[in-house]
Amino acid sequence: MSTFTAWPAWAELCQRIYGFETHRLQNEQGLLTLTEARHPIFGHFLTTAPFGSHGGFTFADETSRNALLKEAQALLMRQGAEYVCLRFLAPDQTPPSGWVQQPLYRTFLVDLTPSAEERLKGFSSDHRNHVRKALKKGFRLEFGRDSLLPDAYEALARSMRELGSPYHAPTYLKEMAALLGDALEFSVLYAPSGELAGAGVFIREGTTVSNLHANLLRRFRPDYAGEFLYWQAMQRYAEQGCQVFDLGRSLIGSGNETFKMKWRPQALPLNYWYALRPGASLPAFNQKNPRFAAAIWLWQRLPPVIVRAIGPLLIGGLA
């Protein structure tokens, strides 16, 4: 149940970039790390794993879990926040009284222990063909750290604008690399022409590598740029001895989920539990909320200079 977003360095990253306060709740059998965010648009809340899929909550049994949940509820009231959100990955969990599960996301774990040939055999014939076609298109995927940071940021910022979402300032990736050290690696995908086609941010913990970001620019997707990036990343980390590739979260029923299922992963529902202050309602800051359709449409059409200027101010409230 532990992931990179439970590391002290991750809490320090969020404090450095956004000034978030960290609350560490602990007993003999468990740990809950909550980040407190205050935003003029998106409100005042507490969350685990800010900007991540899951993490920051680990426990040995139901007794230790429930003790931490009570502490979190008490902290919510003391701080005057609207809600607390716990994002964690653990099987067979049912929220106790006072907590509500919001079943919106799944994460996808790919077993890297079979050989490349065996992994290919496990795919559908269509997906095998797409991977093979991708390898013949002339794409190039580079892995590294500081030297790749400018291109990684540029590709991620462009792709997030295409999706209608704000993105962080460059200092976010720079501080992340400094704090996480060798556990973090950037990847940048280049088209045959040399143009930026996509980028990824991968973080290792033990024998698991997690996809924090992996984004493609839209015009390269028909050439199977996504298949190339994911396949090459899996190959790299399998050769380094990793056993599990966490593809990251996706909204249930989304096109992103459909793409990830082509890799024959173990799809696991994420526990997103909320405790609400009296009078507060569940947040709905995701693409399924029709209220955001107009905002997404507008964001995709704003000039890049405006998007880059105000994006970091917005995304802090979407932790």
- For 180-231, how does the pLDDT look when each residue is reduced to its tens digit (9 = 90+)? 999 999 999 999 999 999 999 999 999 999 999 999 999 999 999 999 999 9
Q: Are residues 201 and 243 in the same domain?
A: yes
Q: Are residues 197 and 95 in the same domain?
A: no
* Dihedral in degrees, nearest 10, Cα atoms 130, 135, 106, 12: -160
Portion of the chain with pLDDT greater than 70, in percent: 98
Give 185's strand partners. 202
- Residue 13 near residue 56 (C-beta atoms within 8 A): no
**Position 292 pLDDT exceeds 80:** no
Unique residue bearing structure tokens 């532990």: 2
Q: Are residues 67 and 210 in the same domain?
A: no
**Position 74 pLDDT exceeds 80:** yes
Q: Are residues 96 and 50 in the same domain?
A: yes
- For 248-274, how does the pLDDT look when each residue is reduced to its tens digit (9 = 90+)? 999 999 999 999 999 999 999 999 999
Q: Render 122-168 in DSSP notation, one character per residue.
A: TS-HHHHHHHHHHHTTT-EEEEESGGGHHHHHHHHHHHHHHHT----
**Position 133 pLDDT exceeds 90:** yes
CA angle 238, 243, 246 (to 5 degrees): 95
Unique residue bearing structure tokens 């800010």: 50
Q: Are residues 128 and 247 in the same domain?
A: yes
CATH of the domain at 164: 3.40.630.30
Q: Which long-range contacts (CB under 8 A, 24 or more apart) does 157-162 make?
A: 157/307, 157/308, 157/311, 158/196, 158/217, 158/304, 159/198, 159/199, 159/215, 159/216, 159/217, 159/218, 160/215, 160/311, 161/299, 161/300, 161/302, 161/304, 161/307, 161/311, 162/217, 162/218, 162/300
Per-residue model confidence (pLDDT) at position 230: 98
Q: Are residues 80 and 117 in the same domain?
A: no
Q: Are residues 24 and 153 in the same domain?
A: no
User: What backbone phi and psi angles, to 5 degrees, belong to 45?
Assistant: -150, 165
Q: Average model confidence (pLDDT) for the chain?
A: 93
Per-residue model confidence (pLDDT) at position 7: 65
Q: Are residues 100 and 138 in the same domain?
A: no
Cα–Cα dist 15/232, whole Å:
33
Number of domains in the chain: 2
| Residue of higher predicted confidence among 8 and 223 | 223
* 81 within domain boundaries: yes
- Residue 159 near residue 195 (C-beta atoms within 8 A): no
pLDDT band at 4 (very low <50, low <70, confident <90, very high): low
**Position 2 pLDDT exceeds 60:** no
Sign of CA dihedral 184, 102, 312, 221: positive
* 301 within domain boundaries: yes
Give 189's strand partners. 141, 198
Q: Are residues 282 and 136 in the same domain?
A: no
* 317 within domain boundaries: no
Q: Are residues 255 and 170 in the same domain?
A: yes
- For 10-26, how does the pLDDT look when each residue is reduced to its tens digit (9 = 90+)? 888 999 999 999 999 99
* 318 within domain boundaries: no
- Residue 317 near residue 41 (C-beta atoms within 8 A): yes
* 169 within domain boundaries: yes
Cα–Cα dist 70/105, whole Å:
24
pLDDT band at 1 (very low <50, low <70, confident <90, very high): very low
Q: Are residues 85 and 144 in the same domain?
A: no
Q: What is the mean pLDDT of residues 107-117?
A: 96
CATH of the domain at 69: 3.40.630
Range of the domain at 189: 110-268
Give 236's strand partners. none
Cα–Cα dist 11/3, whole Å:
13
Give all strands (DSSP E) within 181-282, no chain letters: 184-190, 196-205, 208-216, 244-246, 250-251, 266-269, 271-276
CA angle 172, 112, 244 (to 5 degrees): 45
Q: Are residues 249 and 294 in the same domain?
A: no
User: What backbone phi and psi angles, to 5 degrees, belong to 98?
Assistant: 95, -5
* 163 within domain boundaries: yes
Task: Enter the pTM of the model.
Answer: 0.92
Cα–Cα dist 33/49, whole Å:
8
Cα–Cα dist 203/268, whole Å:
19
Please count the other Cβ atoms lying within 10 Å of the Cβ belonging to residue 168: 20
**Position 88 pLDDT exceeds 50:** yes
- Residue 268 near residue 89 (C-beta atoms within 8 A): yes
* 277 within domain boundaries: yes
* 316 within domain boundaries: no
